[in-house]
Amino acid sequence: MALAKLGAVVLDCPDPAALAGFYAGILGGTVEAEEGWADLTTPDGRALAFQASPGFVAPEWPAPDHSQQFHLDLTVDDLDAAEAGALALGAKPLDADDRSRTWRVYADPAGHPFCLCAC
């Protein structure tokens, strides 16, 4: 049984609206942007998001000593149950202490960040 559904892939970048516009040009769809964040919804309903990242350094590929710089937002129905399942699978909390938010941040076993986000 799955613990979550993929909500969006989020790319760090210096200018979220500009990068969303680039991908909208490639993929089609609509962009909704606000300060520091942009969402692209493709014609088939898939989501790609872009987040401003202070001090952004572009990834180098292929280069094993440089980060790919992205994280996953995973949509869940029950944050507490999904958190328990993710921790049991080896996730490590990064910023999950604030229980008033509708999202919590973890690292996967390889250290990549991801968020569990309430529907």
What pLDDT is recorded for position 2?
A: 92
What pLDDT is recorded for position 88?
A: 94
Q: What is the pTM of this model?
A: 0.74
Residue-by-residue pLDDT tens, the chain, 119 positions: 899 999 889 988 999 999 999 999 999 999 999 999 999 999 999 999 999 998 888 877 777 787 766 788 999 999 999 999 999 999 999 987 888 899 999 999 888 889 999 97
The string of DSSP letters for the chain reads --S-EEEEEEEEES-HHHHHHHHHHHH--EEEEETTEEEEE-TTS-EEEEEE-TT-----TT-TTS---EEEEEEES-HHHHHHHHHHTT-EEEE---TTSSEEEEE-TTS-EEEEEE-
